[in-house]
C-alpha cells in the first residue's frame, strides 16, 4: 500500500538527523551545551544564547498538550479518511514545544492533558513521532 | 480627549486620499490590475496628478516578486522611493509609517500605500480540479514544508485556531463570544453597500450552525476570499493643506514582533499588539479610552478578541465578555470594523481597514454607519506567520 501523505522533506542535515533518530524510535531535540535551552524545530544556533555548541538530547517523550485543533475539512486528500483528526502543540517535559498529530479519539482530547510519544512506522524509511493521551491511573 | 504630544514625527503627516477597487467576487482580474484601480481612485479622491507621486509602498500576493516594481511599471512612475514590505497582514499599517519616515528623510514627498489581491479569482480558477485544490492548500507560500504537513497540519486557519483553543482553555472564552465578533461585523457590512457580504445577514444562531472547518473555528470565524485592493495617499501636513479633502492626521504608529514564534511562551494569547499599541498611543499622546472607532485586523474572529485585550480596551482574558456586551457594535462603547472587516467587507490584508478609519474621521458617512463625532481611530495589522504587528492612530481633521 503506497503511503500518500506528505513525508519528511529533510531540507537540511539538521532535520535529516531528527528524522533518522525518529526512525530508531528516539525522540531527540537540540539542547544547548552552554545554557541548557531546548528548542524545536531544528536550527543551527541556540536561539537563547547564540551558542553553536549543542547536542541531540534524548527526551523522555512525555509532555502535555499546550493546544490542539481538530480538522473536520479535507486539506490534503490523503487525510480524508482520517477526518476528524487532531493536530496539537505538545509541550515536552524538557521545555521545547513540538507540533504533531494526537492519535487519541478527538472527543477525549483536552488542553494540559498528559501525552507521550508513540512512533508510527509509516514507511520502511520513516517513523513519525505521534502522540497519544497518557492514561491517568 | 488629551492634548497632543508624542515624538517628533507625530502629526506631521496626513492621508489626503483613499481609494478601493471593486471588491469581492469580481473575477477576470489580476492583483496588479485591482491595485492600479484602487490607486487611480485614491488619486482622484485626493485630486492628485500622476506626476506628483514619487513614493510607493505596495504589496500583493506573495508570489509576485518585487510587487512595488510591478505597480510602478503599471502606473508609469519611476518612484524615487519604492519598496514592498514583508510583514504579512502587518505590512499595511507599517507601510503608512514607512511613508512618513521616507518623507521625513527627504526621500520622497507623496507616497502611495496600497495592497491588492485576486484571491477569489484564483480560488475559482482552481476549484474545478482536485489537483488545483491540493496545490492551493498545500503549496501555499506560507505553508511550512516540514514539521507540519506530515501530521496533516495545513493552513493559517489551524494556526489561529490553536490560539483560540488556548485562550478558551485559559480564560473560558466561548464560541458564542467568538460569534459576536462575526455577527457584529456582518451587521456593519449590511450597512456598507460595497461590502462583499452586504445583504447576507448573520445571526448568532447562524454563526453557531456554521460548517466546521478546523475546531474551534467554523466558516464564519474565517475571513473572506476576495478580489480586493485599497490604497491611500500620504504626504506632509504642510503639503496636505493644498488638496481637496480635509486631511486625516497620522497621529501615531507602532510596530512589534513575537519572532520567537506562535508556539513560544504565551504568544498565542498575548500578541505584539500590546507593545505595538503602547508605542502608538505614546507617540499620539493618547490613551485607549480616547479611541472612538477601531479597525482591528480580523483574519479570524479570535484575533479581534485578543487584540481588544492587548490594546488595553479590556483586561487580558476579558475580550470575550467585552465583545458579548455589544461594545463592538455601531452605537456601542468601541465601534469596531465598521465596514465589516475582513470577515464581512473583503480581505485586502488590512488595507481596507485604513480606508474605513479615514472615512469615519472625515465624517462623511450615512448616519446608519457613521460613528458620530469620531476624533481618533485605531487601525491594526497582524500577520507574517502570526508574529508581526503594526498599529496606526489617525485623527480627524480639526
Chain B residue numbers with beta carbons less than 8 Å from the beta carbon of A11 are 145-146
What is d(CA B60, CA B349) in angstroms, rounded to the nearest whole number? 9
> CA triplet B122, B127, B133: central angle to 5 degrees?
90
Interface test with chain B among A9, A67, A128, by most B beta carbons within 10 Å:
A67
Whether B213 has its CB under 8 Å from any CB of chain A: the answer is: yes
What letter would DSSP give residue B332? S
Q: State pTM to two decimals.
A: 0.95
Q: Are B349 and B156 within 8 A, CB to CB?
A: no
Answer yes or no: do A69 and B215 touch at CB < 8 A. yes
> CA triplet A104, A105, A106: central angle to 5 degrees?
105
Q: How confident is the model at residue B395 (pLDDT cuts 50, 70, 90)?
A: very high
| pLDDT of B140 over the 60 cut | no
> What's the pLDDT at B1?
36
Region class of A10: left (phi > 0), else alpha (psi between -120 and 50), else beta: left
Considering only CA atoms, which of B276, B277, B252 is closest in space to residue B394? B252
Chains A, B: CB pairs < 8 Å: 94
Q: Using CB atoms, which residue from A40, A67, A87 is nearest to B151?
A: A87
What pLDDT digit, counting tens, does each position of B68-80 carry?
999 999 999 999 9
> What's the pLDDT at B141?
47
Q: How confident is the model at residue B385 (pLDDT cuts 50, 70, 90)?
A: confident
Cell of A92: 515536552
What pLDDT digit, counting tens, does each position of B334-347 carry?
999 999 999 999 99
Chain A residue numbers with beta carbons less than 8 Å from the beta carbon of B178 are none
> What's the pLDDT at B128?
57
- Stated as kind and residue range, the H or E segment containing B167 is helix B156-171
What's the ipTM?
0.97
Whether B142 has its CB under 8 Å from any CB of chain A: the answer is: no
> What's the pLDDT at B9?
62
> What's the pLDDT at B8?
58
What is d(CA B94, CA B39) in angstroms, rounded to the nearest whole number? 18
Q: Are A115 and A63 within 8 A, CB to CB?
A: yes
Q: How confident is the model at residue B127 (pLDDT cuts 50, 70, 90)?
A: low
Q: Are A54 and A35 within 8 A, CB to CB?
A: no
Answer yes or no: do A6 and B150 touch at CB < 8 A. yes
Mean pLDDT in residue range B361-385: 96
Distance from CA of B60 to the nearest CA of A (A): 24
> CA triplet B168, B170, B175: central angle to 5 degrees?
10
Answer yes or no: do A79 and B161 touch at CB < 8 A. no
> What's the pLDDT at B377?
98
Q: How confident is the model at residue B87 (pLDDT cuts 50, 70, 90)?
A: very high
| pLDDT of B55 over the 80 cut | yes
* pLDDT beneath 50, residues of chain A: none
B69: exposed, middle or buried (Cβ count in 10 Å: 0-12, 13-18, 19+)? middle
> What's the pLDDT at B144?
74
Considering only CA atoms, which of B128, B133, B127 is closest in space to residue B154? B133
Q: How confident is the model at residue B11 (pLDDT cuts 50, 70, 90)?
A: confident
Answer yes or no: do A87 and B153 touch at CB < 8 A. yes
Mean pLDDT in residue range B202-224: 98
> What's the pLDDT at B139?
43
Chain B residue numbers with beta carbons less than 8 Å from the beta carbon of A67 are 162-163, 165-166, 169, 268
Q: How confident is the model at residue B138 (pLDDT cuts 50, 70, 90)?
A: very low
Amino acid at each position: 500500500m503506497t503511503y500518500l501523505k506528505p513525508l519528511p522533506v529533510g531540507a537540511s542535515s539538521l532535520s535529516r538527523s531528527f528524522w533518522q533518530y525518529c526512525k530508531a524510535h528516539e525522540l531527540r531535540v537540540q539542547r544547548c551545551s552552554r545554557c541548557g535551552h531546548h528548542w524545536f524545530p531544528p536550527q543551527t544556533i541556540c536561539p537563547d544564547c547564540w551558542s553553536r555548541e549543542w547536542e541531540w538530547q534524548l527526551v523522555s517523550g512525555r509532555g502535555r498538550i499546550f493546544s490542539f485543533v481538530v480538522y473536520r475539512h479535507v486539506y490534503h486528500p490523503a487525510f480524508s479518511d482520517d477526518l476528524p483528526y487532531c493536530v496539537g502543540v505538545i509541550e515536552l517535559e524538557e521545555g521545547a514545544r513540538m507540533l504533531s498529530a494526537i492519535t487519541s479519539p478527538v472527543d477525549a482530547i483536552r488542553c494540559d492533558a498528559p501525552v507521550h510519544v508513540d512512533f508510527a512506522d509509516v514507511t520502511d524509511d520513516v517513523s513519525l513521532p505521534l502522540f497519544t493521551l497518557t492514561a491517568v491511573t | 480627549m488629551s492634548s497632543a504630544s508624542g515624538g517628533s514625527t507625530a502629526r506631521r503627516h496626513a492621508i489626503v486620499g483613499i481609494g478601493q477597487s471593486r471588491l469581492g467576487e469580481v473575477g477576470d482580474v489580476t492583483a496588479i490590475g485591482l491595485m492600479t484601480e484602487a490607486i487611480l481612485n485614491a488619486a482622484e479622491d485626493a485630486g492628485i496628478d500622476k506626476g506628483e507621486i514619487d513614493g510607493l509602498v505596495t504589496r500583493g500576493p506573495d508570489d509576485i516578486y518585487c510587487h512595488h516594481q510591478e505597480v510602478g511599471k503599471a502606473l508609469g512612475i519611476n518612484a524615487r522611493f519604492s519598496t514592498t514590505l514583508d510583514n504579512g497582514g502587518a505590512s499595511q499599517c507599517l507601510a503608512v509609517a514607512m511613508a512618513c519616515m521616507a518623507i521625513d528623510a527627504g526621500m520622497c514627498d507623496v507616497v502611495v500605500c496600497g495592497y491588492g489581491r485576486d484571491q477569489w479569482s484564483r480560488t475559482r480558477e482552481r476549484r474545478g480540479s482536485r489537483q488545483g485544490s491540493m496545490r492551493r492548500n498545500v503549496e501555499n507560500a506560507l505553508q511550512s514544508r516540514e514539521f507540519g504537513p506530515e501530521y496533516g497540519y495545513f493552513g493559517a486557519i489551524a494556526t489561529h485556531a490553536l490560539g483560540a483553543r488556548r485562550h478558551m482553555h485559559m480564560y473560558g472564552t466561548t464560541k458564542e463570544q467568538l460569534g459576536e465578533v462575526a455577527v457584529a461585523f456582518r451587521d456593519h457590512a449590511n450597512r456598507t453597500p460595497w461590502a462583499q457580504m452586504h445583504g447576507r445577514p448573520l445571526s448568532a444562531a447562524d454563526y453557531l450552525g456554521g460548517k466546521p472547518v478546523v475546531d474551534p473555528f467554523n466558516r464564519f470565524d474565517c475571513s473572506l476570499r476576495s478580489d480586493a485592493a485599497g490604497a491611500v495617499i500620504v504626504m506632509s501636513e504642510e503639503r496636505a493643506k493644498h488638496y481637496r479633502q480635509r486631511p486625516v492626521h497620522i497621529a501615531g504608529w507602532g510596530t512589534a514582533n513575537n519572532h520567537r514564534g506562535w508556539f513560544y511562551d504565551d504568544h498565542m494569547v498575548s500578541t505584539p499588539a500590546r507593545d505595538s499599541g503602547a508605542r502608538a498611543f505614546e507617540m499620539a499622546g493618547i490613551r485607549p479610552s480616547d479611541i472612538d472607532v477601531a479597525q482591528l485586523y480580523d483574519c479570524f474572529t479570535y484575533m479581534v478578541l485578543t487584540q481588544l485585550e492587548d490594546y488595553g480596551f479590556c483586561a487580558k482574558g476579558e475580550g470575550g465578555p467585552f465583545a458579548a456586551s455589544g461594545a463592538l457594535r455601531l452605537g456601542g462603547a468601541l465601534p469596531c470594523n465598521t465596514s465589516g472587516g475582513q470577515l464581512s467587507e473583503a480581505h485586502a490584508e488590512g488595507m481596507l481597514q485604513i480606508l474605513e478609519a479615514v472615512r469615519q474621521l472625515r465624517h462623511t458617512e450615512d448616519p446608519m454607519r457613521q460613528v458620530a463625532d469620531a476624533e481618533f481611530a485605531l487601525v491594526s495589522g497582524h500577520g507574517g506567520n502570526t508574529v508581526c504587528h503594526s498599529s496606526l492612530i489617525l485623527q480627524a481633521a480639526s
